[in-house]
Amino acid sequence: MDRKVGIIGVGSSRFGIRNDVNFSELAFESFKQALDDSGIEAKDIEYYVVSNVGIWSSEELPAITLGESLNLVGKGSLRVEAACASGSAGVKTAYEMVKSGNADVVLVLGIEKMNESQTPNVVELIGRAGNYFWEFENFGLTFPGYYALYATAYMNEYQAKEEDLCKVAVKNHYYGARNPNAHFQKEVTIEDCMNSKYVAWPLKLLDSSPITDGSASIIVASEDYIRKNGIKEPVWIKSIGYSTDTSNLSKRSNFLSLRSTVEAAEIAYKKANLNKDEITKKIDVAEVHDCFTIAEILAYEDLGLFPRGEGIKALKDKQTYIGGKIPVNLSGGLKAKGHPIGATGVSMMVELTKQLKYKAEKQRQADIKNGIALAHNVGGTGHYAYVTILSLN
Task: Tell me how many domains the chain contains.
Answer: 1
Residue 304 covered by a domain: no
Print burial letters for 184-209: b (CB count within 10 Å at least 16), e (below 16): bbeebeeebbbebeebbebbbebbbb
Instruction: Provide the CATH number for the domain around residue 28.
Output: 3.40.47.10
pLDDT, tens only, 187-239 = 999 999 999 999 999 999 999 999 999 999 999 999 999 999 999 999 999 99
Residue 63 covered by a domain: yes
Domain with 54, as residue range(s), is 5-116+211-228
pLDDT, tens only, 24-67 = 999 999 999 999 999 999 999 999 999 999 888 888 889 999 99
Residue 132 covered by a domain: no
Please indicate whether residue 84 is annotated as part of the active site: yes
Write the Ramachandran bin of 24: left for phi over 0, alpha for psi from -120 to 50, otherwise beta.
Answer: alpha
Residue 52 covered by a domain: yes
What Cα–Cα distance (Å) separates residue 285 from each residue in 19, 161, 190? 33, 27, 24
- In sequence order, the 6+-apart residues with CB closer than 8 A to the CB of 244 are 260, 383, 384, 385
Residue 220 covered by a domain: yes
pLDDT of residue 119: 85
Q: What is the rounded distance in angstroms from the CA atom of residue 49 to the CA atom of residue 47? A: 7
Task: Check 84, 166, 193, 291 and give the catalytic one.
Answer: 84
Residue 147 covered by a domain: no
Task: Check 173, 183, 289, 339 and give the catalytic one.
Answer: 339
Residue 53 covered by a domain: yes
**Contact yes or no for 30/4 (Cβ under 8 A):** no
Sheet holding 5-12, edge to edge: 76-80, 47-51, 105-113, 213-222, 5-12, 235-244, 384-391, 372-379, 285-287
Q: What is the rounded distance in angstroms from the CA atom of residue 114 to the CA atom of residue 86? A: 14
- Is pLDDT at 130 greater than 80 in this prediction? no
Residue 133 covered by a domain: no
